[in-house]
Chain A
Amino acid sequence: MPLGLSVGDSIDTTTVHLDRVSLVRYAGASGDFNPIHFRDDVAASVGLPGVLAHGMLTMGFAVQPLMNYLGARGRLADYGVRFTRPIVVDSESGADVTIETKVGAVMDDAIRFDLTVTFNGETVLGKAQAQVVFD
């Protein structure tokens, strides 16, 4: 059994604090300059409740607790998410996003980790799963 883990084990819970600088930094790093991620007026003009975090930013940081836990043990073979709810990042208070990483399935040479990512008590990603192989 890889890493001695069993289905249902929770390996980490982490909270990430996002502010507007986080969104601008991700825009520059990723090349996604859609203004709904940094301009309140543009977000309002297309009917959004506020400036939103990039979905790919959320996907990007959600897997980091797993990367820290694994270190060089195992190799990420597959990582997928569904974007189900937006994260509104307030200009003053920002947004706190919590990631819980649990063991979803254990195979002979692989583990599927399930990520539960919540903001304001609701999940923002669906079916967020990372498959790690031990080869």
Chain B
Amino acid sequence: MTVNPNLVGRAFPPVGPYLVGREKVREFARAVFATNPIFTDSAAARAEGFADVVAPPTFPVVIQEHTLNQLLSEPDANIDFSRVVHGDQRFQYSRPVVAGDELTATLEVTSVKTLGAHAMVTSESVMTDATGAHVVTAISTLVVRGEE
């Protein structure tokens, strides 16, 4: 079973809006050893000009996860989740995510490559705020290991 190469260019229905909660940001900040107070203390974040606590740089992965689940459960994708390994990850930011943001994410598959028995699937989750302005794009490459 190989990954369907016709996935390239496929866009999925928007996910969200996802409301970024202050306590979720704090929980995530603790989990990634974020110690700058802008990530946990609303007053410290406001003093630096942010509306509320700032989400650590990799926080959008929480929302990306919801969009990738759309891809993994696509009936004709032929992606065996038990064989999936995270190959690389990138975020391109227009601004930091802050608590109170309502983010909508739209996934598009941008590349499917095969390398020997393995397949590499790259997709982009474009996240916009309640005004429609771009906030961050999360780009992920999943490696689907071939059968031995």
Contacts and interface: CB of A to CB of B under 8 A. Distances in A.
21 contacts: A26-B32, A29-B28, A29-B30, A30-B65, A59-B58, A59-B89, A60-B58, A61-B34, A64-B32, A64-B36, A68-B36, A71-B36, A71-B48, A72-B49, A76-B96, A78-B93, A79-B57, A79-B90, A81-B90, A83-B87, A83-B88
Contacts of A39: none
Interface of A: 16, 22, 25-26, 28-32, 46, 55-57, 59-61, 63-64, 67-68, 71-72, 75-83, 126-127, 130
Measured as residues with beta carbon below 8 angstroms from the partner, the interface class of chain B is: 20 to 34
Interface in B4-32: 24, 27-28, 30-32
A67 B56 contact: yes
Contacts, number: 100
A17 B145 CA distance: 30
Q: Which of B27, B48, B91, B95 has its CB near the most chain A CB atoms (within 10 A)?
A: B91
Contacts of B58: 56, 59-60, 63, 79
Nearest to B140: A56
Interface string B76-96: 000000100111111111011
A64 B88 contact: no
A80 B34 contact: no
